Structure 1
Amino acid sequence: MQMNVPIQLSNDFIASYEKALLEMTQQVVEKVQLDSDYKPYMNKKEAAQYIGVSFNTFQKLEKMGLPIIEIDGIRLVRKQDIDDFLDEHKNTMK
């Protein structure tokens, strides 16, 4: 047998709950906007900024196998390749 118990919530609780939901929603929207600010193909400096590392650290990742596209001396990195590379290495990085 199922029994329903009515619950009364205070206006303060409802307001704080709505505020928390709004803040979480704004954080998600900001993250999506930040991710969409990056082009699908970036130069190495932009790619280093995308993942939040120095240029030298980015070059170390390149030596570890991060795919780089080179066309007529122009070196580009595909955003999806960066994401895939980091996903593949997330358990081995210390």
Structure 2
Amino acid sequence: MLERKQTKGRTHVTFVLPADTPPGPVSVVGDFNDWQPGAHTLAPRKDGTRAVTVALPGSGVHSFRYLAAGDYWFDEEQADSHDGTNSRLYT
């Protein structure tokens, strides 16, 4: 799930997943963090989910994927689009 908040010149996107699906650590990797695993790792929240918030430039298209333990890559179903390999966000 994606949560978005617009601020002056930026879009704050919160990437949200269930606490244990998939199991183990998960990070969101994309063009906004030079595809560096672990740069934005989802952390547990009080509501039983896990999440991380990333501030993106106010206007643009961003590609990303999730990376879980065991080199398991997966997409975000609620992304604005998919390009065949990656999930995409429009800010």
Give the TM-score normalised by the residue count of structure 2: 0.24
Looking at CA atoms only, which structure, 1 or 2, has the larger radius of gyration?
1
Higher relative contact order (CA 8 A, sep 6+): 2
